[in-house]
Chain A
Amino acid sequence: MAGSSVSVDLSQAMITAPVALGDWLVVAPSLITILGGALCLMLRKNTDLQPKLGIGFLALLVVANLALLIRVLDQGVITMVMGSWLPPFGIAFTVDSLGVTLSLIGSIVAFCGGVFGAATVDSTGRRYGFYPFLLLLMTGVCGAFLTGDIFNLYVWFEVLLISSYGLLVLGNDRIQLDGAVKYGVLNLIGTNLFLIATGMLYGIFGTLNMADLAMKVAALENPASGTLATVAALYFLAFAMKAAAFPVNFWLPASYHTPNVVVSAVFAGLLTKVGVYALIRIFVLILPASRGYMADVIALVAIATLLTGAIGALAQSEVRRLLGYVVIAGIGSMLAGVAVGSTLAVSGAIFYAVHSIIVMTALYFAAGIMNMMGGSYDLRQLGGLYQKSAAFAAVFLVLGFAVSGLPPFSGFWPKVILVDAAFADGRAWLGAAILFSGFLTTLAMGRVWIFAFWRGGPEGTADGETVAVTGETGTQLSGAAVWLPLGILTALVVYFGLQPEWMLELSTQGASGIVEPLGYLRSVFGGQG
Chain B
Amino acid sequence: MRTIIFRTIAPYLSALMVLFSIFVLLRGHNEPGGGFIGGLIAASALAIFGIACGVASVRRAIVFHPMGVSGFGLFLSALAGLPSIFKAQAFMTSQWLDVHLFGVEIALSTPLFFDIGVYLVVVGAIGSIALALEEREVD
A residues at B contact (CB < 8 Å): 16, 18-21, 23-24, 26-27, 31, 34-35, 37-42, 44-45, 80-84, 129, 132
B44: Cβ under 8 A from any A Cβ = no
Q: Is B91 a contact partner of A27 (Cβ separation < 8 A)?
A: yes
Interface size on B, residues (CB 8 A): 22
The CA-CA distance from A129 to B74 in the complex, in Å, is: 15
Contacts of B90 in A (CB 8 A): 19, 23, 80-84
Contacts of B75 in A (CB 8 A): 35, 38-39, 42
The CA-CA distance from A44 to B91 in the complex, in Å, is: 28
Name A41's contact: one of B67, B78, B92 (CB within 8 Å). B67
The CA-CA distance from A227 to B119 in the complex, in Å, is: 40
Contacts of B88 in A (CB 8 A): 18-21
Beta-carbon contacts under 8 Å, B89-118 to A = 89-94
Which residue of chain A is the closest to B91 with respect to CB atoms?
A27
Q: Is B85 a contact partner of A21 (Cβ separation < 8 A)?
A: yes
B133: Cβ under 8 A from any A Cβ = no
B14: Cβ under 8 A from any A Cβ = no
Which residue of chain B is the closest to A27 with respect to CB atoms?
B91
Task: Provide the B70-92 mask, 1 if CB < 8 A to any CB of A, else 0.
Answer: 11111100110110110011111
12 contacting pairs across A/B (C-beta < 8 A):
A18-B88, A21-B88, A24-B85, A26-B91, A27-B81, A37-B74, A38-B72, A38-B78, A40-B71, A41-B74, A42-B68, A84-B93
Question: A470 CB to closest chain B CB, in angstroms?
Answer: 40
Question: B62 CB to closest chain A CB, in angstroms?
Answer: 14
Contacts of B85 in A (CB 8 A): 21, 24
Question: B100 CB to closest chain A CB, in angstroms?
Answer: 27
The CA-CA distance from A39 to B68 in the complex, in Å, is: 9
Q: Is A82 a contact partner of B79 (Cβ separation < 8 A)?
A: no
A35-B79, A41-B68 known; A82+B74 contact, CB < 8 A: no
The CA-CA distance from A35 to B71 in the complex, in Å, is: 9
> How many contacts A-B (CB < 8 Å)?
64
The CA-CA distance from A31 to B93 in the complex, in Å, is: 15
Q: Is A41 a contact partner of B70 (Cβ separation < 8 A)?
A: yes
Question: B113 CB to closest chain A CB, in angstroms?
Answer: 14
Which residue of chain B is the closest to A128 with respect to CB atoms?
B67
Contacts of A132 in B (CB 8 A): 71
Name B89's contact: one of A19, A38, A40, A41 (CB within 8 Å). A19
Q: Is B78 a contact partner of A83 (Cβ separation < 8 A)?
A: no
Which residue of chain B is the closest to A18 with respect to CB atoms?
B88
Which residue of chain A is the closest to B71 with respect to CB atoms?
A41
Contacts of A82 in B (CB 8 A): 90-92
Chain A contact surface mostly: helix
B residues at A contact (CB < 8 Å): 65, 67-68, 70-75, 78-79, 81-82, 84-85, 88-94
Q: Is A35 a contact partner of B72 (Cβ separation < 8 A)?
A: no
Additional A-B contact list (20), CB under 8 Å, known A24-B91, A35-B75, A38-B73: A19-B89, A31-B91, A35-B79, A38-B71, A38-B72, A38-B78, A39-B71, A41-B68, A41-B71, A42-B68, A44-B67, A44-B68, A44-B71, A45-B65, A80-B91, A83-B90, A83-B91, A83-B92, A84-B90, A129-B67
The CA-CA distance from A518 to B81 in the complex, in Å, is: 30
Question: A129 CB to closest chain B CB, in angstroms?
Answer: 8
Interface centre among A16, A39, A42 (most CB of B within 10 A): A42
Question: A231 CB to closest chain B CB, in angstroms?
Answer: 30
- A-B pairs with the 4 shortest C-beta distances? A41-B71, A18-B88, A38-B75, A38-B74
Contacts of A23 in B (CB 8 A): 90
Which residue of chain B is the closest to A26 with respect to CB atoms?
B91
The CA-CA distance from A211 to B65 in the complex, in Å, is: 44
Which residue of chain A is the closest to B79 with respect to CB atoms?
A35
Q: Is B92 a contact partner of A34 (Cβ separation < 8 A)?
A: no
The CA-CA distance from A85 to B42 in the complex, in Å, is: 32
The CA-CA distance from A265 to B65 in the complex, in Å, is: 31
The CA-CA distance from A34 to B81 in the complex, in Å, is: 12
Q: Is A34 a contact partner of B78 (Cβ separation < 8 A)?
A: yes
Contacts of A83 in B (CB 8 A): 90-94
Which residue of chain B is the closest to A34 with respect to CB atoms?
B78
Contacts of A16 in B (CB 8 A): 89
Question: B123 CB to closest chain A CB, in angstroms?
Answer: 14
Which residue of chain A is the closest to B121 with respect to CB atoms?
A38
Q: Is A84 a contact partner of B71 (Cβ separation < 8 A)?
A: no
Which residue of chain B is the closest to A20 with respect to CB atoms?
B88
Which residue of chain B is the closest to A80 with respect to CB atoms?
B90
Contacts of B79 in A (CB 8 A): 35
Question: A146 CB to closest chain B CB, in angstroms?
Answer: 12
Contacts of A35 in B (CB 8 A): 75, 78-79
Name A42's contact: one of B72, B78, B82 (CB within 8 Å). B72
The CA-CA distance from A241 to B16 in the complex, in Å, is: 47
A38-B72, A41-B71 known; A18+B89 contact, CB < 8 A: yes
The CA-CA distance from A18 to B87 in the complex, in Å, is: 8
